[in-house]
Every structure is written in C-alpha cells, then in structure tokens.
Amino acid sequence: MGKRHCLFIDFEFTMPERNVRMKEFYPEIIEVGIVSVIDDQIVDQFSSYVTPLKFPTLSERCKSFLHISQDQVNKGITFFELIRKMEEFNQGYEMTIVTWGNMDMKVLRHNCLAAGIPFPFHAAELDLSMEYKRFFGDQNQTGLWKAVQEYGKEGTGRHHRALDDALTTYNIFKLVEKDKRYLEKPKPTTIGDRVDFSKLLNEFA
C-alpha cells in the first residue's frame, strides 16, 4: 500500500481596482501557503510572499482587502522560485492537491502559461468546497471560514493569510473524512456474529 500524500494549497492573488478596467489584467499569485501531509501527518509547511511578474504594483483595493503591503510583495520570492519550490513537493508518492474552490489551480495554470513554464504538478486535484457542498447537500458553495464555523470550530490564524487558510483547509478535510467514515454503512452481521453457538450448545448439553 503506497503512502497517501496530500498537498493543501492556498494562494492570495492580485486584484484590480473596483470599476477600473485594466488592459490585459489577470490575477497573479502574491502569497502562497502549502501544507504537505503524508499518511495524515504534517511533514512540511511553506509560506512566502511572491512578486508578480506582469503587474507588480498592487492596487489599493488588493492591499486593503488582503492586508498585504507593496513592500512585502517586493521582497517576496519570484514566481520561478515558487514553481521550483512546488516541484520539490513531488516526492514520488501518489499525490492529491487539495484546495478550497477551483480558483487556486486555475490561477496557477494561467500564471505558468503566461510565464512560459510547465505546470509543476502531476497529481489528482480535489476541490474540497465542492466535496463539502455535495456531502452536506448545500445549495451554494460555502466560504472556507464559514464551513469551519459550521463545524463549531474556528479557522487557524487569520483569514486571507495563505498558510492559515491552507491549514484551515486541512482541518476541514480531516473533519469531512471523519464524517464520511462515520456514515459508511457497516457490513451486515451474519447469524454467526449475532449468536455465540458454543454458548448455545453448552446450554443444551
């Protein structure tokens, strides 16, 4: 049986000013949080700011919403360093990338395409928000921190910090997996399981 390797990933992205059309704008990764889990044990964590390639100047809306400063992003790793770091997580195990929502992988793919470099992962991808929606039969997709609060828990650290959100995603993943196991139907018992025939025979002996 191979090891089970899950990579919980969260990104924060650039965003344009509200009601301002920026020509050719697309969201770029400016913060990354990665939690590497092998066989239900956290084995590695990584967090960093990332300097955008195409639009390096953050909008006021982006700085205000994410509480990320221009200086923090300027001192971050390059996008190419981010991809090299991600490639280090390909450890030869069968891997699943777990994110809350599908935007993280969409933006990563688009950023790789724009930078002319290959996508760093060959792995299954799990959108935990859709899994959560299907499992609980919700009509709408639930936000990450609302989901964890619905479990009667609190998120880790601060919302919209990439590593904190990746850790919160991992915590919800554990809770959903536990609930799934709980709801799995037990195998029907046979008559031999229900009746101890040795005791029964002794009574009639």
pLDDT in tens, 58-104: 999 999 999 999 999 999 999 999 999 999 998 777 899 999 999 99
- Is 160 noted as a catalytic residue in this protein? yes
- Catalytic option among 160, 177, 184, 203: 160
Residue ranges covered by each domain of the chain: 5-185
Measure CA 43 to chain center: 15
- Catalytic option among 5, 12, 28, 31: 12
For residue 3, give every residue at least 6 positions away whose Cβ sits within 8 Å of its Cβ, in sequence order, or none: 38, 39, 93, 94
Measure CA 120 to chain center: 16
- Is 12 noted as a catalytic residue in this protein? yes
Sheet holding 41-51, edge to edge: 77-78, 41-51, 29-38, 5-13, 95-99, 124-127
For residue 122, give every residue at least 6 positions away whose Cβ sits within 8 Å of its Cβ, in sequence order, or none: 90
Cβ-contact 46, 27 below 8 angstroms: no
Mean pLDDT in residue range 182-205: 55
Which segment of 6-10, 13-17, 103-107, 176-180 scores lowest on mean pLDDT?
Answer: 176-180
When the pLDDT of each residue in the chain is averaged and rounded to a whole number, the result is 86
Give the fold, CATH level 3, of 5-185.
Nucleotidyltransferase; domain 5 (3.30.420)
